[in-house]
Amino acid sequence: MAIFPALPVEDPGYARGVVLVLIAGVLWSVAGLIVRLMHEANEWQILFYRSIALVITLLTYIALRNNGRLKTAFRSAGKNAVWAGVFLGTGFASWIFAMTHTTIANALFILAASPLIAAVIARIILGEPIRRLTFGCMTVAILGILVMVGEGALIGTLSGNAFALVAAFAFAIFSVTLRMGKAVDMTPAVCWAGLWATLIGGTMLALTQSGFSVSLHDALLCALLGFVQVGMGLILFTIGSRHIPAGELTLLSLTEVVLGPVWVWLGVGEVPSLYTVVGGLIVLGAIAAQALSGVRRRPPVGVM
């Protein structure tokens, strides 16, 4: 079996899917700014209250989309949605742990491996082909992330790095699992992820005795994370996943990594380094090349 076989006739919804996934990455990118604006909430409080807001958002969306038939929507999504939610919820928690136990540079670099992981897993499980250009764009994007984190790539802890890798695998497997259920509405998967993350966050708050009390200011910012940053972002990503191969999904969503430092710079004056600017431009170029090549793709004339 060829590693880079020609793709079948292009999904007519591909261009729309690209736009939705790019917007999702933009929404996800504001997380750092919102977290920096918080006063006292710790990582587990943020995870807990953000996840509650996420669940409310998804239940409302699913109810409106299905005329109030929540049970039917969840039943239609099936077991794939449950598993996708478990993986994504685990990724939420792992990412929080990684960000507090290693450098942001290390965490971002490791997370940038998720497109390659997703593409390989999708190739093995779903038989989704990896285009030569897609593989090249993945490589360029990872090199760009490496440039962005060049200043601190050797700093960090083993446990933080390990959990960042878990987050990368979790997000990659979530993307592949969405593709397994692409014939149906998989947005219930995000709701399952929110429920699972709420359980993890609540359990950690109880075990660490951090307490559930947060200021109104921080609570509102957590709600903003859940309703808009994560909620709307994942709704758009999930809809877009029905039209885009798993490897390309995670590649296009790397707009989060590129734009994140920009919003923090504009919002709280945290100036990005030259490494961040140069690396971000490289990643953005890879994303643009992937998006434009996919939209312009023509039906193949043969199999390589």
The pLDDT value given to residue 193? 93
Taking the alpha carbons at both ends of the chain, their separation in whole angstroms is 10
**Cα 98 from Cα 91, distance rounded (Å):** 10
What confidence score (pLDDT) does residue 220 get? 96
pLDDT number for residue 126? 79
Is the residue at 9 inside a domain?
no
Does residue 14 belong to any structural domain of this protein?
A: no
Cα separation, 5 vs 303, in Å, equals: 6
pLDDT of 202 reads 94
Question: Does residue 168 lie in a domain region?
Answer: yes
In whole angstroms, give the CA distance from residue 99 to residue 107. Answer: 7
CA atoms within 13 Å, Cβ hemisphere of 67 = 0
Residue 145 in domain: yes
Measured distance CA(193)–CA(148) in Å, rounded: 30
Per-residue pLDDT, 215:
94
Residue 94 lies in a domain: yes
The residue segments making up the domain with residue 35 are 23-295
Count of domains observed in the chain: 1
Q: Is 217 inside a domain boundary?
A: yes
Q: What is the pTM of this model?
A: 0.77
∠31-37-43 over CA atoms, to 5°?
Answer: 60
Instruction: Report pLDDT for 97.
Output: 80
pLDDT at 106: 66
pLDDT per position in the chain (304 positions), as tens? 344 344 444 566 888 888 999 999 899 888 888 888 898 888 899 999 999 999 999 999 999 988 888 999 999 888 888 998 999 999 988 887 877 777 666 676 677 777 778 888 888 887 877 778 878 888 888 888 777 666 555 555 677 778 888 898 998 898 888 777 666 777 888 899 999 999 999 999 999 888 899 999 999 999 999 999 989 998 898 888 888 877 677 778 778 877 887 888 888 887 777 777 787 788 778 877 876 775 554 333 333 3
Contact 89, 230 (CB under 8 A): no
User: 303 in a domain, yes or no?
Assistant: no
127: number of Cβ within 10 Å: 9
pLDDT for the residue 248: 77
301 located within any domain: no
